[in-house]
Amino acid sequence: MLKSIFRWSWRTLLLVLIVLAALQFWFLVHICYWASHNPESTAFMRARLEILREDDPKARLRQQWVPYQRISGHLKRAVVAAEDAKFATHNGFDWEGIRKAYEKNLREGEIVAGGSTITQQLAKNLFFSGERAWWRKAQEAVIAVMLETIMSKRRILEIYLNVIEWDDGVFGAEAAARHHYGTSAAALGAEQAARLAAIVPSPRRYGPGSNTSYLQRRTQTILARMNGAAVP
């Protein structure tokens, strides 16, 4: 009896390990492909489109891919300054940022800060729809290691700036620049870039023309940090 249970448990464990290995290989293949090919969409974009089409079956996302060199240097520095100041030097994780986020969450008694790097955020956007689960954070960490190993920092930032959300159904720097300012991603000025970076954590809260006191303060903070932001 015990021998049969042991054999069943071993086979079950082996099957689980094979499935997990196959899943990691699937992630790896996609990342290798995206190292030189632009992703047509992301899991998060597809999830948002599905939600939009619940109200409007003809809804479409606004996104236009632009290469790294056609994105304003102001926007690159603003986003790095706002989201991940150590992006150019870390290996996918900002351990000090994670520690500070953990301490802040303990003080507040709820999750109010995440500490995720640009690489971790990209992992989430590429492969996950947005729902929270304990296993997802662990998988994001594995994917972040894959991204940092296979892609250059420049490529990671290029994809990130082209796929993150900047308003309901508005994705990527080019669509954001045209939606919020009627200009191209290449032509964004410093203050425009800082304001776009300020709304990244809550992109659907601030539409074109939004000018809350928080947004003003956050924009000025990012502007002050931009010159010191290192970008690839």
pLDDT band, very low/low/confident/very high, at 6 (cuts 50, 70, 90)? low
Mean pLDDT on 26-50: 96
What's the fold here for domain 43-52+62-226?
Answer: Penicillin binding protein transpeptidase fold (1.10.3810)
**Per-residue pLDDT at 17 exceeds 90:** no
Helix (H) or strand (E) holding 227: none
CA–chain centroid gap for 147, Å, is 12
Percentage of residues of the chain with pLDDT beyond 70: 86
The per-residue b/e assignment along 153-171, b for 16 or more CB within 10 angstroms, e otherwise, is bebbbbbbbbbbbbbebbb
Given pLDDT bands bounded at 50, 70 and 90, which one contains residue 2? low
Q: How far apart are CA 45 and CA 124, in angstroms?
A: 11
Q: Where are the domains of the chain?
A: 43-52+62-226
For the segment 88-108, the average pLDDT, to the nearest whole number, is 70
d(CA 203, CA 232): 25
